Amino acid sequence: MAEKTLDEAAVAAAWNRNAAFWTEEVRSGFDFYRELYTFPAFLDFMPDIAGRRVIDLGCGEGSNTRRFAKLGGSMTGVDISAEMIARAWQREEEEPLGIAYHISSFSDLSSFADAQFDCALSTLALMDGPDLPAAIQACSRVLRPGGSLCFSVLHPCFITPAIRWLNDGEGNHVGLRIGRYFEKEPFVEYWRFGRRPHTAELPACDQPFEVPRFPRTLSDYINAVSEAGFKIVKIAEPRPSEEMARAHDWLNRWYRHAPLVLFCLAEKM
Ligand SMILES: C[S@@+](CC[C@H](N)C(=O)[O-])C[C@H]1O[C@@H](n2cnc3c(N)ncnc32)[C@H](O)[C@@H]1O
């Protein structure tokens, strides 16, 4: 992928190519970070959505959107990838939960009315779009006053372009090297899915899994939220549970040294 052209069209094209493998990965439960760490922590952090009109920004193939619907949210999912949304609709037809899906950038929610939603949720998607301030502004417009924005992103202070685990030579992680924190040049990351078992039913990814990335600083996130008319209610930097950290060395790193994700809950003023 030519890195000079990392605009929304390139993001949509990348996730369209990724959609089939990603859907299988997520739905088969092999996204272990999601299952053991990030999603349980997000459930503890997010507001009550029972009976609320909720938009899921960057919903992907809809696994989390469905989980939110089962918590009682009246769900709308938006994603820039038509292939992701097609798979989300297909699952909705197989197991109807009353979810509406739209192909849309979260930075342009013009097909939705002002104040149409009580809550906006987003899990690990806002760092994947090129225009964060536009996304938060658009979200502010479609939320009613007093409505909530609650999102997770890869932690901008630790998941930097020069990230590398440091070890003591005996395989023990002793820290995390970060670097190039201030560089905002978009780049493409290649994911390898190393923890996934490979069987005839679950073959390895047969093409590069490209994820366009848009590095930002912590202040970029905080200021985008406050400048769009939100009051920040709380921030979290969750760790895996101690039990999970003991059971899985790859989670223990994130328990001992640095948080993988940053959560933010804000209220529209
Ligand atoms: C890592 S996936 C996360 C999907 C889902 N939230 C989940 O947790 O399973 C990131 C998603 O963000 C979507 N995305 C990236 N930029 C977007 C944009 N500007 N508007 C809407 N969706 C976007 C991608 O298409 C992709 O489906």
Mean pLDDT is lowest, of 143-152, 167-176, 223-232, for 167-176
Supply angle C-alpha 233, 236, 239, rounded to 5: 165
pLDDT at 121 over 90: yes
What pLDDT is stored for residue 211 in this prediction? 96
What is the atom index within ligand 1 of the atom nearest the CA of 14? 25
Among residues 62, 141, 54, 149, the alpha carbon closest in space to that of 101 is found at 62
Tokens of 111: 């097909």
Ligand 1, atom 17: closest residue by C-alpha: 129
What stretch of H or E contains 188?
A: strand 187-191
Query: Which of 269, 266, 263, 267 shows the shortest CA–CA distance to 235?
Result: 263
* Cα 191 from Cα 168, distance rounded (Å): 25
Least confident of 26-30, 107-111, 166-170, 206-210: 206-210
79 touches ligand 1 (CB under 6 Å): yes
d(CA 157, CA 100): 34
pLDDT above 80 for 243: yes
**Confidence band for 220, pLDDT divided at 50, 70 and 90:** very high
Angstrom CA distances, 109 to 25, 103, 157, stand at: 28, 10, 28
> Does ligand 1 lie within 6 Å of residue 64's CB atom?
yes
How far, in Å, are 53, 58, 167, 255 from residue 238 at the CA level?
26, 21, 23, 9
Residue 1 has pLDDT above 60, yes or no: no
Q: Cα separations (Å) of 262 from 150, 185, 194, 235?
A: 11, 21, 23, 7
- Say yes or no: CB of residue 124 within 6 Å of ligand 1: yes
Q: What is the pLDDT of residue 191?
A: 86
Cα separation, 37 vs 162, whole angstroms: 23
Q: How confident is the model at residue 127 (pLDDT cuts 50, 70, 90)?
A: very high
Q: Would the pLDDT of 200 be above 90? A: no
Report the alpha-carbon distance of residue 138 to residue 188 in Å, rounded.
26
Structure tokens at 233: 């209610």
Residue 170: pLDDT over 50 = yes
Distance 82 CA to ligand 1 centre (A): 11
Is 11's C-beta closer than 6 angstroms to any atom of ligand 1?
A: yes
> Residue 23: which pLDDT band, with cuts at 50, 70 and 90?
very high
Task: Assess whether pLDDT exceeds 70 at residue 131.
Answer: yes
Closest CA to 139 of 156, 122, 152, 127: 122
Whether ligand 1 lies within 6 angstroms of the CB of 63 is answered as yes
Higher pLDDT, 3 or 14: 14
Of the chain, the percentage scoring pLDDT greater than 70 comes to 94
Domains in the chain (CATH in brackets) are 3-155+216-268 (3.40.50.150)
Q: How far is CA 245 from CA 33, 81, 109, 172, 256, in A?
A: 12, 34, 39, 14, 9
